[in-house]
């Protein structure tokens, strides 16, 4: 009888031990999941910060570019403008050799002027 009670106690202790081990495994799994979630959140946060930084850099670069281009027509010398028109004329002449030179120069001048008129950086 006493032997049987001891066996029952041992059986109960084994069951309790198994239960404790299962609980411990569950806790470890939960901790691992929490660590993974934490890592994922950190990665997402890092990605968001990188995207925000990139956006800020892009905006700053665009602002700098706009500031650099504010006086593009006034800062271009007449010689540079004439050179642009001449290069445009040469390109147009190569593409359409049958069109009169005067017409090609007129088209190149018009292109330069229209480009200026459409530019937001006047």
pLDDT in tens, the chain (122 residues): 778 888 899 999 999 999 999 999 999 999 999 999 999 999 999 999 999 999 999 888 877 766 655 555 556 677 887 888 999 999 999 999 999 999 999 999 999 888 877 766 55
Residue 31 buriedness (CB in 10 A; 0-12 / 13-18 / 19+): exposed
Q: Could you tell me which residues come within 8 angstroms of residue 70 by beta carbon, excluding any fewer than 6 positions away? A: 121
**Domain boundaries defined on the chain:** 1-69, 76-122
Q: Could you tell me which residues come within 8 angstroms of residue 73 by beta carbon, excluding any fewer than 6 positions away? A: 81, 116, 119, 122
User: Which two three-digit tokens encode residue 120?
Assistant: 């937001």
Q: 3-class SS at 77? A: coil
């Amino acid at each position: 009888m006493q032997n049987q009670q001891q066996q029952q106690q041992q059986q109960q202790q084994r069951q309790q031990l198994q239960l404790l081990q299962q609980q411990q495994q569950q806790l470890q799994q939960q901790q691992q999941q929490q660590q993974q979630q934490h890592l994922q959140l950190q990665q997402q946060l890092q990605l968001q910060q990188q995207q925000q930084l990139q956006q800020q850099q892009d905006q700053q670069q665009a602002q700098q570019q706009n500031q650099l281009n504010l006086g593009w027509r006034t800062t271009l010398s007449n010689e540079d403008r004439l050179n642009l028109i001449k290069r445009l004329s040469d390109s147009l002449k190569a593409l359409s050799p049958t069109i009169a030179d005067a017409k090609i120069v007129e088209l190149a001048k018009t292109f330069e002027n229209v480009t200026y008129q459409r530019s937001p950086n006047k």
